[in-house]
């Protein structure tokens, strides 16, 4: 209950929801549908797009945790949200498999930058002196809520307005979270705050 009053925790909840929405919900459910319905050899394109997205995340995770410790949590959350805004938001504009794969890798980088920095921010806010179960579970529930809602909403947008609008909605949501972080989120790494 104490954490919810902190602007940085509130910012963290918005980015958790946006991350769950764009990098888990929409990626896993709508990206393969887009690839399968738009490109020749659609099932292969779907598998390659998911692999490219995961590869971008996995490679970035190799250094992003250390980077969050070196330069701070907020810069990586900002960079991750910005990359997700641009590249996930643009996925529906891909007209060739190679452009889809490139956008997928770069969108995956956004998630890879954001995830460790979000988790480190949460650990910093909780600290060692108190129980963090409620703050941790609330953060996880916001990510889960994004992951649950995205397939329904983004899928409906794709059905009614097309994949360009559907993925642009992911970009709009992560942009909103980016603005919240820029205005309200604070650096939590003590040495850099």
For a pLDDT cut of 70, what percent of the chain falls above it?
98
Burial 69-78 (b: 16+ CB within 10 A, else e): beebbbbbbb
Average pLDDT over every residue of 22-41: 95
pLDDT tens by residue, 151-179: 999 999 999 999 999 999 999 999 999 99
By percentage, how much of the chain surpasses pLDDT 90? 89
User: Within a domain: residue 1?
Assistant: no
Mean local confidence (pLDDT), 99-109: 98
- According to the model, what pLDDT value does residue 175 have? 99
d(CA 91, CA 107): 9
- Domain membership flag for residue 13: no
Residue 154 lies in a domain: yes
Domain with residue 173: its CATH number is 1.20.1250.20
Q: What is the pLDDT of residue 38?
A: 92
DSSP string, 78-140: HHHHHHIIIIIHHGGG--SHHHHHHHHHHHHHHHHHHHHHHHHHHHHHH-SSS--HHHHHHHH
Q: Is residue 16 part of a domain?
A: no
Give me the mean pLDDT over the 103-116 stretch.
Answer: 98
pLDDT-derived band at 128, boundaries 50, 70, 90:
confident
- Specify if 131 maps to a domain: yes
Span 177-191, average pLDDT: 94
The verdict on residue 7 lying in a domain is no
What does the alpha-carbon distance between residue 67 and residue 112 come to, in Å, rounded to a whole number? Answer: 11
Q: How much is the pLDDT for 52?
A: 98
191 in any annotated domain: no
- pLDDT for the residue 1: 58
Counted domains in the chain: 1
Q: Does 172 map to a domain?
A: yes
pTM over 0.75: yes
Here the tokens at position 16 are: 């958790």
**Domain coverage including residue 85:** 22-184
- The three-class DSSP label of residue 39 is coil
Whole-number Cα distances in Å, 176 to 18, 95, 169, 172:
9, 27, 11, 6
- Rounded distance, CA 154 to CA 26, Å? 7
């Amino acid at each position: 209950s104490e954490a919810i009053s902190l602007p940085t925790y509130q910012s963290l909840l918005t980015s958790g929801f946006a991350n769950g929405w764009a990098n888990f919900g929409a990626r896993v459910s709508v990206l393969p549908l887009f690839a399968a319905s738009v490109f020749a050899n659609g099932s292969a394109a779907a598998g390659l797009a998911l692999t490219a997205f995961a590869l971008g995340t996995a490679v970035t995770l190799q250094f992003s945790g250390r980077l969050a410790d070196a330069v701070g949590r907020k810069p990586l959350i900002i960079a991750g949200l910005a990359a997700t805004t641009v590249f996930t938001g643009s996925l529906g504009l891909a007209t060739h498999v190679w452009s889809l794969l490139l956008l997928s890798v770069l969108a995956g980088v956004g998630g890879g930058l954001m995830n460790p920095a979000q988790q480190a921010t949460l650990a910093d806010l909780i600290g060692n002196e108190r129980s963090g179960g409620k703050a941790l579970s609330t953060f996880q529930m916001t990510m889960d809520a994004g992951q649950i809602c995205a397939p329904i909403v983004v899928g409906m947008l794709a059905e009614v307005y097309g994949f360009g609008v559907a993925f642009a909605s992911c970009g709009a949501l992560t942009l909103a979270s980016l603005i919240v972080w820029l205005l309200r989120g604070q650096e939590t790494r003590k040495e850099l705050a």
